[in-house]
């Protein structure tokens, strides 16, 4: 369509020119005393057109001639720019392939080309970022080669370039890489220092939280590790099962590193409600509290959510494993044994209700029997312990049950029954 329009315009111009030139009788007279020159108007117009075209072409030729140095400079700049991008791509591909020596050489070549361009006065729009990335790739390859000297040289150059360019994300990325390198060097203190220099928004990113978590684990800083694990779990950086397991392990570690009642109470207070409701955490805290001769009522309060009817069930189909149920009964038994005053009436009612609701549960039978011994109800205690012993699977609890039976036999002065109970305890 465009060609047809141009063709029509050409024909129209030709027709108009023919009509104008064919019937044009005008002349142009030039006076140059004592001469007079008469020229046809058509010739004058044609001559003017030829002069204009000639001057235009001459000016274009001169402009092209004088622009040769600039064109050569642009070509040289374009060539170096292509070499820089090709070097960066080569460095990245070599590093991904595990050829770290070649990757470092390519990155250093890119940095050298950039230096020559700066020395010659040629600059690219993103020259600073390109130099930063080149030095970062060289530092990363040096780190993989365990060449810390070259790594630090290239890293400091990259950090200086990023500071000059005022690149926020690039500068934050350099600090994150430094924190990661310190972590690989088994230097959690340096890693934490780099993370502390990050802006608040960057420090909340998942990659920063992961590094912070690993640094805390290396430094055995349970508190920081637990805080990081909580945040990562909320950001869904772990699967639900893995996140719960990591948090539970750190919570247990924080309790196990407490060496007196004050530290243990502080560690318990630092836990969240969901962590306190974890059976292993609550049982560990209660066991360590009783081991340090803490107030028994406090230990019973910590394990209260694990008792039947209090959010968890200890009977069949429960959320507690058999080992956890044995530990729960052991905690309650120890707490009641340490109490000098009369047993807690509320807990007595809870134990009695649970035992009546599940008369076939040997653990509840055992606990009820122990409580009857505590209350000097010898006959009832003997019946419950005798009923529970054949069904108990835990050898330690079965041994304690036989020892309680021996104590009951001695109470009623039945030496033969006491000896048999002691023998059964020894066999258990």
Question: Do 78 and 97 form a contact (C-beta atoms < 8 A)?
Answer: no
pLDDT at 333: 86
* Cross-strand pairs, 39: 28
pLDDT at 309: 60
pLDDT at 318: 46
Cα torsion 65, 70, 72, 77 to 10°: value is -170
The answer to pTM > 0.85 is: no
Please report how the helices 261-270 and 279-291 are oriented relative to each other, as an axis angle in degrees rounded to 10.
Answer: 160
Residue 38: strand, helix, or coil: strand
Residue 404: closest CA among 368, 354, 353: 368
Distance CA 366, CA 79 (A): 87
Q: What residues in the chain have per-residue pLDDT under 50? A: 312-318
3-state helix, strand, coil in the chain (%, to 5): 75, 5, 20
Q: Which residues touch 342 (CB under 8 Å, ≥6 apart)?
A: none
Question: Mind listing the pLDDT tens digit for each residue in 91-133?
Answer: 999 999 999 999 999 999 988 888 888 777 777 777 888 888 9
**342-428 falls under which CATH superfamily?**
Tetratricopeptide repeat domain (1.25.40.10)
Q: Which residues touch 356 (CB under 8 Å, ≥6 apart)?
A: none
What residue has token string 């050489």? Answer: 105
DSSP states of 185-250? TT-HHHHHHHHHTS-HHHHTSHHHHHHHHHHHHHTT-HHHHHHHHHHHHHTT-S-HHHHHHHHHHH
Distance CA 241, CA 235 (A): 14
In the chain, domain spans: 342-428
């Amino acid at each position: 369509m465009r060609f047809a329009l141009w063709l029509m315009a050409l024909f129209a111009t030709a027709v108009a020119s023919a009509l104008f030139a064919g019937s044009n009788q005008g002349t142009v007279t030039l006076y140059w005393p004592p001469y007079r020159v008469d020229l046809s108007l058509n010739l004058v117009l044609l001559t003017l057109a030829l002069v204009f075209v000639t001057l235009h072409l001459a000016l274009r030729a001169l402009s092209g001639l004088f622009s040769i140095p600039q064109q050569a400079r642009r070509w040289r700049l374009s060539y170096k720019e292509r070499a820089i991008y090709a070097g960066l791509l080569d460095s990245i591909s070599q590093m991904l392939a595990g050829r770290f020596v070649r990757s470092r050489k390519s990155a250093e070549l890119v940095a050298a080309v950039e230096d020559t361009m700066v020395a010659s006065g040629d600059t690219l729009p993103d020259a600073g970022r390109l130099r930063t990335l080149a030095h970062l790739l060289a530092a990363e390859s040096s780190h993989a080669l365990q060449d810390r000297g070259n790594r630090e040289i290239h890293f400091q150059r990259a950090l200086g370039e990023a500071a000059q360019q005022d690149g926020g994300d690039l500068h934050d990325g350099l600090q994150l890489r430094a924190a990661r390198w310190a972590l690989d060097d088994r230097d959690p203190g340096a890693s934490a220092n780099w993370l502390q220099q990050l802006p608040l928004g960057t420090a909340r990113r998942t990659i920063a939280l992961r590094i912070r978590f690993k640094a805390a684990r290396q430094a055995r800083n349970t508190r920081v590790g637990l805080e990081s694990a909580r945040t990562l779990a909320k950001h869904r950086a772990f699967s639900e099962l893995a996140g719960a397991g990591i948090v539970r392990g750190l919570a247990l570690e924080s309790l196990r590193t407490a060496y007196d009642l004050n530290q243990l109470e502080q560690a318990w207070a630092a836990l969240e409600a969901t962590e306190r409701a974890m059976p292993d955490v609550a049982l560990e805290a209660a066991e360590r509290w009783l081991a340090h001769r803490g107030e028994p009522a406090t230990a019973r309060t910590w394990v209260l959510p694990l008792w039947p009817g209090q959010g968890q069930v200890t009977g069949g189909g429960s959320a507690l494993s058999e080992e956890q149920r044995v530990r729960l009964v052991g905690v309650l038994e120890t707490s009641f044994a340490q109490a000098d005053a009369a047993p807690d009436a509320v807990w007595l009612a809870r134990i009695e209700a649970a035992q009546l609701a599940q008369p076939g549960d040997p653990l509840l039978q055992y606990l009820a029997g122990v409580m009857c011994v505590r209350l000097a109800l010898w006959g009832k205690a003997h019946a419950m312990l005798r009923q529970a012993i054949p069904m108990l699977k835990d050898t330690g609890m079965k041994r304690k049950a036989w020892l309680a039976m021996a104590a009951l036999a001695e109470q009623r002065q039945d030496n033969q029954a006491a000896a048999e109970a002691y023998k059964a305890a020894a066999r258990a």
